[in-house]
Structure 1
Amino acid sequence: MRTVLAYTPPDLQEARPGVVRRRLVFFLAGYDPEARSRYRMLFVRELLLSARRFGEPAPKLGRLSEEAGGLSQVWQIAPRPEIGDAAVDYEVLHWDDLVARDGQRLRLVNIGLLVAGTLHALMIGLLWRFYRFNHRYGNVIVYPFVMVVALALVSGLIAAVVHPHLGTGFAHSLGLPLALSLPLALAIGVAWIAAIDRPLNRMFFWLLLRSWVFHWQHGQGWRPDYEARLDAFAERAAARIAEARASAEPPDEILLVGHSTGGLTAAELAARLLDRMPDLGETGPVLSLATLGSALPLVVIQPRAVRLRAQVARLVASRRLVWCDFQAPQDWMNFPGFNPVLDVDLPETGGTTANPIVRSAQFKRILTAETYAKVRNRPFRMHFQFLMANELPGEYDYFRMVLGPQYLRDRALQPIIGPEPVRTRR
């Protein structure tokens, strides 16, 4: 796997002159059952922190409103002329109800799906490819399977110890017939797992288990509920874009942002929008796509993900949008160095390679040494740094990307670096 996280496609869309004064942002969260309550709070907290840290004027945020029957949450951020910020409409498109529904399946069903998906990935060599891309993410994928095996072994051991006391193995055993003693022993062996459910949740066992199952199912074409939600996202986003373009003050840039599995979702949404709106990106606002710590490789390299590879190929060849993929070697749950142009057997793109720009978020440079030492071995904390305030100025800055005056293309190629912080600690 390549370790240099820098790639600029040869046929990249030409720069749009001027600066961004108005921006319409669509944010896609990852596989998160609590997205509806998490991302507004995270955005506000980290934006206020960033403003204080770098001595910027306090941002003015509008109230959150639920729209499209709860499909989206919307708020506005007023421009800050002192630092050149754009006026931003920020919309979070939700699919957390689908994630929550996965958690409502019987746990034995989820475990069965995990075992099937992991063994399938092992047999077809998929797991080894994940390890080559990022061995730490490979460990994250395998972790639930290893835990299931360990839990099963401990349960079997408990059942083996308990069974003689239920049947006829000891003088003071209950003397139950085998037809009763064996199932009861097995039930006792399994019951202890319920007693450690809270520690398992703190270890992200169930969430990571269901996350891998989702990505495997999607790669097999077995998630019609998710596909339907993507169509609903496309319908909603197309309507908002058409409304914004027809307004008295249309946006200069339409920015799709996807974090983690949301990077996959955002790419799929971008492909649908290009199909639905033939003039999008040709006239009017610039269309930009930012994927942050994307889980796209988890699905796109699966043999049966033919439709997704075709969509990615269209994005790669399209000069109607600019796609920038931000990666981080310090993040366990992304694939640093992955490039669909070089690492995926895509359909023919007509010889045009306009996307993606690949850049490193350089977490080690935008965090103080003290903070970096504290969080480097906390996978989820590091994974969310893509959406959090910088401690030090750097080329990657989430809030400069979504609020600042630069188009995504310019931000990736020639970023304006902000001032030194007036304080570097929380």
Structure 2
Amino acid sequence: MRELGFTPPDLAPDDTRLIERRHAFYVPGYDPEARHRYHALFARELGRYAARFEMRLHHVSPLVESADRRTQTWTVDAGLAGRRTATTFEILLWDDMVRRDMARPVLASLLLLLLSVGHSLGTGTLLHLFRLSRRFAGVIPLYPLVVSSILLAVGAGIGSGLTRLVGQPAGSWGAILVAVAAALGFVQLAMPVLDRFFLRQLANDWVFKWQHGNGWREDYTACLDAMAARVAARIDADGADEITLVGHSSGALAVVEVAARVIVLRPGARLSLLTLGAGLPLVALVPRAARVRADIAAVVACDRVVWAEYQAPQDWMNFPGFNPARDLGPPPARVANPLIRSARFREIVDPAVYRRVRRRPFRMHFQFLFANDRPGEFDVFALLLGPRSLRDRVLAPDIVPLREPAGSHP
């Protein structure tokens, strides 16, 4: 693994202002349950965080969904006595697309998975991904591909046994149809169990990224445009001290693409950009993904954006050591982003918990959004709720800056 950490040589000037009001846009990953997950997750984990680190002042408002069901909003007041920050969270939703993808017939999903893997092998993209992270490539796409192939083979074997029972000659059209029907039926019957292990979600996630990289997801491109328009409108209307775009997993690339659009829509605006557990190479390395690479390059070069990227070697579903300023071709003349740091999960997760979850890819992937067990430089609540700007917090990290001494009262 390459060195995990980078500070751009052309970083913007110091940003040490105190933040009293922050507006944070959050883009989820490829998650069919996004609209039901993140407010509850945030409230639960903030409650745990407050109890562990004696943070007395914290209030999470109820969830409010917009009339068009494209956004969800809630507010948080948090901080120390005499130093409070009000943060508005606004989730930019695209889970309807994910659910449509996952509603495909099993045969269509498997065919798309095979086609996308074959195409990625032919273009060299898959081998490049393997060189960057064998574990990521093992989870997406090889895990769903291998498991699906095994299940199809078992189902076909069952079908072959059935053809002998009903007296169909081996190799006849009848025998072939029975074997195919049995294989697909076996996979369909196994799907409720497979869904518990995220097989269908990971398979469709890979296919989605392949399609997006090749420019075949006009619905998603339109969604990114709409997200950028919402951010631009908020810049015009809000008056917040800091506007932050936050993306986890697949949402990390989405917020970079949204930021690139906002740079064009509002040339004078300042943005903070926080990406967690990102999988940018999955799309950016597709040969035809020129628009995606151009969006990333625009954000890399923009000194009005502060982009902080947190990676973790323990997370099987990110690319630790990947630097978009270096690894997507010749760097731009100016490199203002991103600030790359390690989340250092070993330091912030209780050792007993770490031993229990370190081989559970999805659990480790979501650690970026969970409350720390121990104080550490990476602290998602300090980054999003604290009084310091994102740039200042990353360059000069405190250890749990929201901690309040016992006996203190707001």
With structure 1 as the length reference, what TM-score do the two structures score?
A: 0.91
The answer to whether the Cα contact below 8 Å between 2:273 and 2:306 also exists between their aligned partners in 1 is yes
Cα distance in 2 for partners of 1:97, 1:261 equals: 15
Matches within 5 A, 1:132-281: 132-141=131-140, 142-167=142-167, 180=174, 182-244=176-238, 250-281=239-270
Residues 166 and 237 of structure 1, relative CA distance in 2, 3 Å threshold:
same
CA apart distance, 1:147 = 1.6
Structure 2: 5+ residue runs without aligned partners? Answer: none
Residues 397 and 187 of structure 1, relative CA distance in 2, 3 Å threshold:
same
Cα distance in 2 for partners of 1:181, 1:252 equals: 69
Cα distance in 2 for partners of 1:277, 1:206 equals: 39
CA apart distance, 1:125 = 1.6
Which one of 371, 376, 382 corresponds to residue 358 of structure 2?
376
Cα distance in 2 for partners of 1:144, 1:288 equals: 35
Q: How many residue pairs get matched?
A: 404
Instruction: Indicate the percent of aligned positions where both proteins have the same amino acid.
Output: 45
- Letter paired with 1:143: Y
Deviations 1:326-349 (A, max 9, x none): 000000000000001111115x62
Matches within 5 A, 1:2-21: 2=2, 4-21=3-20
Cα distance in 2 for partners of 1:83, 1:255 equals: 23
Cα distance in 1 for partners of 2:88, 2:81 equals: 19
The answer to whether the Cα contact below 8 Å between 1:84 and 1:405 also exists between their aligned partners in 2 is yes
CA apart distance, 1:59 = 1.2
Residues 152 and 168 of structure 1, relative CA distance in 2, 3 Å threshold:
closer
The answer to whether the Cα contact below 8 Å between 2:25 and 2:90 also exists between their aligned partners in 1 is yes
Task: Return structure 1 stretches of 4+ with deviation > 3 angstroms.
Answer: 177-182, 419-423
- Letter paired with 1:252: D
Which one of 338, 350, 365 corresponds to residue 356 of structure 1?
338
The answer to whether the Cα contact below 8 Å between 2:65 and 2:73 also exists between their aligned partners in 1 is yes
The answer to whether the Cα contact below 8 Å between 1:271 and 1:315 also exists between their aligned partners in 2 is yes
Deviations 1:290-347 (A, max 9, x none): 000011111011110001111111111110110011000000000000001111115x
Structure 1: 5+ residue runs without aligned partners? Answer: 171-176, 245-249, 282-286
Q: Which has the larger radius of gyration?
A: 1
Matches within 5 A, 1:82-93: 82=81, 84-93=83-92
Residues 85 and 359 of structure 1, relative CA distance in 2, 3 Å threshold:
farther
Cα distance in 2 for partners of 1:116, 1:25 equals: 38
- Letter paired with 1:352: R
With structure 2 as the length reference, what TM-score do the two structures score?
A: 0.94
Q: Quote the residue 2:116 is aligned against.
A: 117
- Letter paired with 1:267: V
Cα distance in 1 for partners of 2:281, 2:173 equals: 48
Which one of 318, 337, 341 corresponds to residue 302 of structure 2?
318
Residues 128 and 180 of structure 1, relative CA distance in 2, 3 Å threshold:
closer
CA apart distance, 1:234 = 1.1
The answer to whether the Cα contact below 8 Å between 1:167 and 1:178 also exists between their aligned partners in 2 is no
Cα distance in 2 for partners of 1:422, 1:34 equals: 38
RMSD, aligned CA? 2.0
The answer to whether the Cα contact below 8 Å between 2:55 and 2:80 also exists between their aligned partners in 1 is no
- Letter paired with 1:163: T
